[in-house]
Structure 1
Amino acid sequence: MTGTMDQTRPAAGATGGPARSRPGKALVAVAVLAVLVAAPLVLGAYPVTTMTRMLAFAVLVLSVDLLTGVTGLPTLGQAAYFGVGAYTAVLVGIHVTSDALTQALAGLAAGLIAAALTGWVAVRARGIVFLMLTLAIGETIHQVAGTWTLVGASNGLAGMPPVSLFGGPPLLAAGFVYWWVLAAATVVFAGVALVARSPYGRTLRGIRDNEPRMRALGYRPALARYGVFCLAGAVAGTGGALWAAQARFVSPGDLGFEMAALALLSVVIGGAGSLWGPCLGAALVLFVRDNLSASIGGHGPLVLGLVFVAVVFLLPRGVAGFRLRKDRPS
């Protein structure tokens, strides 16, 4: 009897482990945020500008992870909504107001509307068909941006004044723009994390893992996927507005296939579904493309390809999956 009870009793720390790990995770998150906040105080303008771009790109990657990692819908179309948000923010900055919050909200609304208009057909498909549909949507919007004279066609859209906050002076220093983008990206990350851990997020994971069973339980998978597709479009649009706040310029290349592929690559490298892992992957990918590539003779894509192959073979679940695999009991 005692042996049976010992076998059925949970191992020491099995139930308390996650609870004990939450304070540790919170401390790590606070430490990382503190380092990011302090970065402009010790770094020059160029690295701060680079980090600003990484943060805006990480918001785009979060939208891809919300679809690919949480819902199981690999996508190559989120760069389109990223570009829609960026173009909207620049137009608002030129013709309406320089307020950064207004531009971010406008980018969010534009990404949401664009995703709502284009996503209803895409979410009815799965797997490679969904991937191809999102690629087609992205390329269509890319072609429109490259030929529409209202948004500068192939020359892009320039002339956006420096952003400001709440009617204050323009944010001319790179550090001030960085702090604004960091604050906005933190809010977006917290919102996406809440959605991923909510009952709706668990529903999306259930649809990803076993759609027939979820349908038998009374859920409507197509409607749930459409909702998260619209949400991901809003997140990507916000990332585009943050990108425009730093660059003050947007071109068709900002919503082309390369940007979409780099975002999906960031999710694969970081670990689909982990949220923080893809953000780390976004920083790595953008660093290799924009900084390291110049010092190695323009061979940044080759380095990214080698990193991708190494991750696929050595870390199938990405950087975040390495910790999960290490903590898994034997």
Structure 2
Amino acid sequence: MRTPAFWLTGLIGLAALLALPWLVSSEYYINIASQIVIAAILALSLNLLIGFGGMISLGHAAYLGVSAYLVIYLTAHAGFGHLAGALIAIGATTGLAMLFGYLALRASGLGFLMITLALGQILWGVAYRWASLTGGDNGLGGMKRPHPFGLDLMHPTIFYYFVLVFLGLALWCIARFIQSALGQSLQGTRDQPRRMRALGYNVWLIQWMSFVFAGFWGAVAGLLYAYYHQFVSPQALHLTTSAEALLMVIAGGTGTLFGPVVGAALVVILKNVVSAYITRWLILLGVIFVAIVLFMPEGLVPGLTRWVRSLRGRSLKEKKTTVVSAITKDRVL
């Protein structure tokens, strides 16, 4: 059950996101914010598998990269319109998630992780070697951003609000999914798979449907990634991209709604802003990650929530002690 503090925090975060372009004058930082939003959608989709399904994947960048490659190829090289290209890219990538889910869910635990890693690396190898189709190491470009409803997405502020709409849809849809019977069943398969089977639930089917749903939102993130960069290279499919998404989820807090968003902000800011001032920014990222694991092993969002509650409880305890002491003193007098 969501507490009033949860909704208040969500409203404050929403207000901050909406006001960001007016608070930041530089287009550079607005573009960084757009990257954070796109990364947050990818992290939210991965969090469905890790946080709510207990399925750790190292191949989630496959959906980001495939969707980006498809929409750029279809719209810039095959003559498709933006709407048709986007729908085909998302549909085909979701179909790929169906296939990958069928293959990966033949195993669990470490076996599942290794299969997702292998599938992701196969796609990376194809993108790297099939130069006639993907451009190889040079990547695939030539795409122009669409103009939905007459909006010029080349303007950083307009594009930021455009991707922010998709983040809002992702948060709403994922929240509804988590609260649904399927989402509750997924969490049951994470905690007690044997008991769920004994109760008659099809654990494999629940996990597969959730895997496909996560792949769909990974495809949406890939579509927005392509719109932002107007270019895609094999790096989008590489293991490092999947590892970054995994780091976002763990740092922000697995099994939470807003944790992946906070984790995405942390990683993207360190990668794009701090790296301009610190050459060894990866060392700083490692130090921060170790600190999170040591002091907030549940992640930033749950950890900060725990700290706030403990401080509030301590404050109430001190007030109660003060009141009791005052009453005792009055009685003595």
Q: Same fold (TM over 0.5)?
A: yes
2:252 maps to 270
1:322 maps to 303
Structure 1 counterpart of 2:188, from 187, 206, 224: 206
- Contact 1:65/1:273, CA 8 A, preserved across alignment: yes
Structure 1 counterpart of 2:286, from 284, 305, 310: 305
1:29 maps to 10
Q: 1:69 to 1:157 in 2, by over 3 A?
A: same
Aligned-pair distance for 1:37? 1.8
Structure 2 counterpart of 1:113, from 95, 100, 105: 95
Moved over 3 A (4+): 102-107, 323-330
2:61 maps to 79
- Counterpart Cα distance in 1 of 2:288 and 2:90: 32
Could you tell me which amino acid in structure 2 is paired with residue 124 of structure 1?
Answer: R
Aligned-pair distance for 1:82? 0.8
1:171 maps to 153
Structure 2 counterpart of 1:239, from 210, 221, 226: 221
- Counterpart Cα distance in 2 of 1:34 and 1:93: 35
Residue identity (%): 36
Deviation readout 1:222-241 (Å, 9 max, x if unpaired): 11111111111111010010
2:317 maps to none
> Is residue 142 of structure 2 the alignment partner of residue 159 of structure 1?
yes
Aligned-pair distance for 1:88? 1.9
- Counterpart Cα distance in 1 of 2:39 and 2:304: 24
Could you tell me which amino acid in structure 1 is paired with residue 57 of structure 2?
Answer: T
- Contact 2:274/2:281, CA 8 A, preserved across alignment: yes
- Contact 1:104/1:242, CA 8 A, preserved across alignment: no
Q: 1:275 to 1:169 in 2, by over 3 A?
A: closer
1:218 maps to 200
Deviation readout 1:169-223 (Å, 9 max, x if unpaired): 5422111111111111210121111111211111011110011000000001111
Could you tell me which amino acid in structure 1 is paired with residue 146 of structure 2?
Answer: V
- Contact 1:98/1:161, CA 8 A, preserved across alignment: no
The number of residues matched between the two structures is 307
Could you tell me which amino acid in structure 1 is paired with residue 285 of structure 2?
Answer: L
Structure 2 counterpart of 1:96, from 80, 90, 100: 80
Structure of greater Rg: 2
- Counterpart Cα distance in 1 of 2:191 and 2:129: 41
Show structure 2 runs of 5+ residues with no match. Answer: 315-333
SS in structure 2 of the partner of residue 296 of structure 1: coil
> Is residue 138 of structure 2 the alignment partner of residue 125 of structure 1?
no
Could you tell me which amino acid in structure 2 is paired with residue 82 of structure 1?
Answer: L
Show structure 1 runs of 5+ residues with no match. Answer: 1-17
- Counterpart Cα distance in 2 of 1:177 and 1:140: 32
- Contact 1:107/1:240, CA 8 A, preserved across alignment: no
TM-score, with normalisation over the residues of structure 1? Answer: 0.88
- Counterpart Cα distance in 1 of 2:285 and 2:93: 28
- Counterpart Cα distance in 2 of 1:98 and 1:208: 39
